[in-house]
């Protein structure tokens, strides 16, 4: 790759280069739980093309860290199960090791811009909220208290009041109805929802687990 | 009166063979929304879609996918609703409320609304549209909606459906009139399906042309008074003139679905020919294939199920047509006598046929089209190679190609890297068999 190193960044001409740019790394790596400031100095010394292609052990390491960060936030967006009360407060539990709470909160904020979002992080035992203006607060109280406090001065919103019924059973029925037994593919299923996803708060009591842990009798 | 839960169970099960893979929406922010940007909308679409769950067959389950009703005037031989004894329908209010509940739980990303034809296509579509209208205007839902149009539906309803949804589709089911008659004799292939597909394209193009003209005026006469008047007019006319959220451009592309293996002697070539026509003539975004599975109680219950491998090969070949922009005639040589695809990756077959009597590809000289013929080189890596060559970069080592995303395991037998080619085991066997036959001749 000598020639590639000499040039500035030939990949960028395609507009679809692999890996992350230096700016992205500097911006996002501090989110990782094992981040240390000296890492940024290391990154600044390495040409971007090596970083993009995991050309050295340190480049491999930073790319792995970036992957862990984005994976955690994406999993949280996928598998966090939430509830909404009739005052327009959306709440749920997450388990985030890295500092990606802002990403997850913003994801929910874009979906429910008029609501207050409260997410309790099991890992840090803190509740984070995002209000209608998109301002994030960190509170050292349990989720229930934060939700009660946030709901206090808010009016009753008719269409949120309209959907105040238990939805767990509805989802379980919908999920079971979609399964085509002739196409069952446990290997693929396990690849799409790996074991560690069942440790996420939203998935612990999820119906998916019941389909995964089949008894030997189910096969006959 | 069945409960909502019972309806979800029965109507969800009836719709499980309908396929929709992605929840991504191609909405553009290029033009201002004429209703004005407001915070009261609920929901959003992610550019690549998000899967909130997966079924035990590994498929993404992110949409509230049920039929609206399973009461049907048609008796398609392969269809689930044919055998389902329990007939029921949602009400628009019930449908919208149930979906919003699921959306608030973050278990679904959007709606996939399909239906059997109860009474007439127009009557059922009216009710389905009412459910979507409630979602859009009562619950202010801004997220993903896939609307499945019914065969034979009127043009004005298609127009409304297209302006309310992110994706729209009509199931073609079979590749031609004769094959459709074999499995669904009550449906008119040309009138009920093909004409409607053409309408979908025309409605979208006509609308977008008109909308762009209006947007031009909007920019030129940029006075607040004029814009205010226009927004008022828009609100009064509602979404019927533009998209439901006030965006001028209709982005809902159309897709279609085929039942693979239900019609006797329908070949892969027939299906791909119909898809190729779709890409050329009706702006088809993509096609879905659903392998035929015999369902008890239907006239085709005794027929053998189509193999999932066939479905997979069709998807692979469709990828070559849609993403690689191959022409169907380029692929003709890999089909067998019955017009079916052989086992294995179609691109590998194509490459082995193509390079039989041609020189191997030198990445430093080959054109974009030639690079695309090599297995392991896709459009992105081919573009990277071309761009690097334009910058006077010379590919001399395997790693150089690997770093631009080429899958060397598949590509190497067809590439000349620095003047050398990696010989495959097959080639070695060919040499041995040549030697043996030469000895026999001697």
Q: B65 or B39, which is more confident?
A: B65
Interatomic CA distance for residues A95 and A93, integer angstroms: 7
CB contact under 8 A, B101 and A82: no
On the 0-12 / 13-18 / 19+ scale of CB atoms within 10 A, B402 is middle
Interatomic CA distance for residues A33 and A181, integer angstroms: 42
| Residue A1 pLDDT level (bands cut at 50, 70, 90) | very low
Chain A residue whose CA is closest to B305:
A182
Interatomic CA distance for residues B385 and B393, integer angstroms: 9
- The Cα-based distances of B114 to A111, B70, B92, B141, B301 in angstroms read 24, 10, 13, 18, 23
* Cβ-based neighbours of B360, under 8 Å, separated by 6 or more: B414, B415, B416, B421
- Copy the structure tokens of residue B186: 């009550």
Q: In B, which residues are within 8 Å of A18 by CB distance?
A: 403, 405
Interatomic CA distance for residues B371 and B369, integer angstroms: 5
Interatomic CA distance for residues A134 and A109, integer angstroms: 7
Interatomic CA distance for residues A212 and B96, integer angstroms: 31
How far B45 CA sits from the closest chain A CA (Å)?
A: 8
Query: What would the mean pLDDT of B65-76 be, rounded to a whole number?
Result: 91
Highest mean pLDDT (candidates A104-118, A178-192, B10-24): A104-118
Can you give the residue ranges of every domain in chain A? 2-75, 80-161, 168-219
Nearest CA-CA partner of B167 in B131, B143, B134, B191? B143
Query: Which residues are paired to B54 by β-bridges?
Result: B60
Query: What would the mean pLDDT of A46-57 be, rounded to a whole number?
Result: 76
Interatomic CA distance for residues B326 and A136, integer angstroms: 50
CB contact under 8 A, B104 and A178: no
Q: A104 or A55, which is more confident?
A: A104
The H-assigned helical ranges of B165-223 are 177-183, 195-220
The shares of helix, strand and coil residues in chain B, as percent rounded to the nearest 5, are 45, 10, 45
CB contact under 8 A, A177 and B105: no
Interatomic CA distance for residues B70 and B79, integer angstroms: 11
Task: Write down the pLDDT at residue A160.
Answer: 83
Check: CB of residue A69 under 8 Å from CB of residue A33.
no
- Copy the structure tokens of residue B265: 């002697």
CB contact under 8 A, B104 and A84: yes
| Residue A54 in this model has a pLDDT that exceeds 90 | no
Phi, psi dihedrals of residue B114, rounded to the nearest 5°: -135, 170
- The Cα-based distances of B57 to A191, A212, B110 in angstroms read 11, 11, 20
Residue-wise pLDDT tens digits, B248-269: 677 778 999 999 999 988 999 9
**Bridge-based pairing state of the strands B167-169 and B144-148:** parallel
Write out the CATH class of domain B4-306.
alpha beta
How far A68 CA sits from the closest chain B CA (Å)?
A: 18
Chain B residue whose CA is closest to A166:
B101
CB contact under 8 A, B12 and A174: yes
The H-assigned helical ranges of chain A are 2-6, 22-28, 38-45, 48-52, 57-79, 101-111, 143-152, 158-161, 168-177, 186-192, 207-212
Highest mean pLDDT (candidates A43-47, A169-173, B422-426): A169-173
| Residue B137 pLDDT level (bands cut at 50, 70, 90) | confident
Interface check A84 vs B, CB under 8 A: yes
CB contact under 8 A, B104 and A3: no
Residue-wise pLDDT tens digits, A175-202: 999 988 888 888 999 999 999 999 999 9
CB contact under 8 A, A183 and B308: yes
Rounded to 10°, the helix B155-164/B121-133 angle is: 20
CB contact under 8 A, B391 and A13: yes
What is the SS3 assignment for A110? helix
| Residue A213 in this model has a pLDDT that exceeds 80 | no
Q: In B, which residues are within 8 Å of A189 by CB distance?
A: 54-58
Measured CA angle at A185 (ends A183, A190), to 5 deg:
145
Q: Which of residues 177-206 of A touch B (CB under 8 A)?
A: 177-180, 182-189, 191-193, 202, 206
**What ipTM was reported for this prediction?**
0.89
Interatomic CA distance for residues B69 and B434, integer angstroms: 65
Query: Which residues are paired to B255 by β-bridges?
Result: B169, B286
- Copy the structure tokens of residue B288: 């879905």
Residue-wise pLDDT tens digits, B288-334: 999 999 988 888 888 999 999 999 999 999 999 999 999 999 899 89
How far B418 CA sits from the closest chain A CA (Å)?
A: 14
Can you give the residue ranges of every domain in chain B? 4-306, 360-441
What is the SS3 assignment for B416? coil
Interatomic CA distance for residues A4 and B187, integer angstroms: 60
Chain A residue whose CA is closest to B40:
A114
Check: CB of residue B114 under 8 Å from CB of residue B15.
yes
Check: CB of residue A194 under 8 Å from CB of residue B317.
no
| Residue B425 pLDDT level (bands cut at 50, 70, 90) | low
**Residue with token string 């909007």:** B218
| Residue B280 in this model has a pLDDT that exceeds 50 | yes
| Residue A11 pLDDT level (bands cut at 50, 70, 90) | very low
| Residue B355 pLDDT level (bands cut at 50, 70, 90) | confident
Nearest CA-CA partner of B365 in B404, B325, B418? B418
* Cβ-based neighbours of A180, under 8 Å, separated by 6 or more: B16, B17, B55, B57, B293
What element of type H or E holds B5?
Answer: helix B4-14
Interatomic CA distance for residues A150 and B338, integer angstroms: 67
How far A191 CA sits from the closest chain B CA (Å)?
A: 8
Q: Write the residue in A16, A81, A168 that is nearest to B380 by C-beta.
A: A16
On the 0-12 / 13-18 / 19+ scale of CB atoms within 10 A, A141 is middle
Q: In B, which residues are within 8 Å of A74 by CB distance?
A: 50
Nearest CA-CA partner of B350 in B358, A58, B362? B358
Nearest CA-CA partner of A138 in A129, A147, A146? A129
Query: What would the mean pLDDT of B269-297 be, rounded to a whole number?
Result: 93
Nearest CA-CA partner of A123 in A104, A95, A100, A81? A95
Query: Which residues are paired to A82 by β-bridges?
Result: A92
Q: In A, which residues are within 8 Å of B107 by CB distance?
A: 81, 167, 171
* Cβ-based neighbours of B87, under 8 Å, separated by 6 or more: B69, B70, B71
Nearest CA-CA partner of A117 in A76, A72, A158? A76
Interatomic CA distance for residues A146 and A85, integer angstroms: 13
How far B337 CA sits from the closest chain A CA (Å)?
A: 29
Average pLDDT, chain B: 85
Q: In A, which residues are within 8 Å of B60 by CB distance?
A: 192
Q: B283 or B212, which is more confident?
A: B283
| Residue A57 pLDDT level (bands cut at 50, 70, 90) | confident
- Copy the structure tokens of residue B226: 């004029």
Q: How many residues does chain A have?
A: 220
Nearest CA-CA partner of B17 in A208, A210, A181? A181
């Amino acid at each position: 790759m000598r020639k590639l190193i000499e040039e500035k960044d030939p990949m960028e001409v395609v507009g679809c280069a692999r890996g992350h740019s230096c700016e992205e790394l500097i911006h996002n790596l501090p989110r990782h739980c094992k981040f240390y400031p000296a890492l940024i100095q290391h990154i600044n010394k390495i040409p971007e093309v090596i970083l993009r292609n995991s050309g050295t052990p340190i480049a491999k390491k930073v790319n792995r860290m970036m992957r862990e960060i984005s994976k955690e936030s994406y999993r949280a967006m996928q598998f966090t199960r939430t509830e909404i009360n009739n005052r327009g407060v959306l709440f749920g539990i997450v388990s985030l090791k890295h500092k990606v709470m802002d990403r997850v909160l913003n994801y929910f904020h874009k979906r429910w811009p008029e609501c207050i979002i409260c997410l309790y992080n099991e890992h840090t035992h803190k509740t984070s909220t995002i209000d209608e203006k998109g301002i994030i607060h960190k509170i050292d109280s349990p989720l229930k208290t934060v939700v009660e406090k946030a709901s206090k001065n808010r009016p009753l919103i008719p269409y949120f009041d309209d959907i105040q019924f238990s939805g767990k059973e509805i989802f379980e029925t919908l999920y079971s109805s979609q399964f085509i037994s002739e196409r069952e593919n446990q290997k693929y299923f396990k690849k799409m929802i790996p074991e560690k996803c069942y440790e996420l708060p939203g998935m612990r009591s999820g119906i998916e687990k019941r389909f995964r842990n089949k008894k030997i009798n189910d096969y006959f | 009166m069945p409960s909502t839960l019972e309806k979800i169970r029965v109507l969800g099960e009836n719709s499980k063979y309908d396929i929709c893979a992605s929840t991504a929406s191609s909405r553009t922010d290029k033009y201002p929304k004429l209703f004005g940007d407001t915070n009261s909308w609920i929901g959003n679409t992610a550019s690549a879609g998000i899967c909130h769950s997966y079924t035990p067959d590994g498929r993404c389950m992110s949409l509230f996918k049920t039929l609206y009703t399973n009461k049907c005037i048609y008796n398609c031989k392969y269809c689930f609703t044919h055998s389902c004894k329990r007939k029921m329908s949602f009400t628009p209010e019930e449908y919208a409320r149930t979906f919003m509940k699921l959306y608030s739980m973050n278990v679904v990303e959007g709606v996939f609304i399909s239906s059997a034809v109860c009474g007439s296509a127009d009557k059922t579509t009216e009710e389905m549209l009412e459910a979507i209208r409630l979602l859009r205007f009562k619950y202010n839902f801004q997220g993903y909606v896939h609307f499945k149009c019914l065969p034979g539906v009127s043009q004005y309803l298609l127009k409304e459906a297209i302006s309310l949804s992110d994706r729209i589709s009509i199931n073609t089911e079979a590749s031609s009139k004769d094959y459709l008659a074999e499995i669904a004799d009550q449906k008119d292939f040309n009138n009920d399906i093909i004409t409607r597909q053409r309408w979908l394209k025309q409605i979208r193009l006509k609308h977008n042309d008109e909308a762009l003209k209006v947007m031009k005026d909007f920019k030129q006469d940029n006075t607040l008074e004029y814009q205010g008047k226009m927004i008022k007019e828009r609100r009064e006319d509602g979404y019927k003139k533009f998209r439901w959220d006030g965006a001028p451009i209709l982005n809902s592309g159309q897709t279609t679905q085929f039942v693979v293996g239900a019609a006797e002697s329908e070949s892969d070539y027939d299906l791909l020919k119909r898809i190729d026509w779709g890409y050329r003539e009706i702006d088809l975004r993509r096609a879905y294939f659903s392998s035929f599975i015999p369902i008890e109680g239907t006239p085709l219950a005794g027929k053998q199920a189509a193999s999932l491998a066939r479905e997979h090969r069709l998807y692979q070949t469709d990828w070559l047509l849609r993403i690689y922009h191959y022409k169907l005639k380029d692929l003709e040589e890999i089909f067998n006598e019955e017009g079916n695809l052989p086992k294995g990756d179609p691109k590998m077959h194509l490459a082995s046929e193509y390079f039989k009597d041609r020189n191997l590809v030198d990445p430093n000289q080959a054109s974009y089209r030639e690079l695309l013929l090599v297995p392991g080189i896709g459009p992105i890596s081919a573009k990277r190679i071309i761009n690097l060559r334009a910058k006077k970069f010379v590919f001399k080592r395997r790693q150089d190609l690997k770093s631009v995303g080429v899958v060397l395991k598949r590509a190497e037998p067809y590439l000349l890297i620095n003047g050398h080619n990696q010989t495959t085991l097959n080639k070695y066997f060919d040499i041995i068999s040549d030697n043996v036959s030469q000895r026999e001749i001697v």
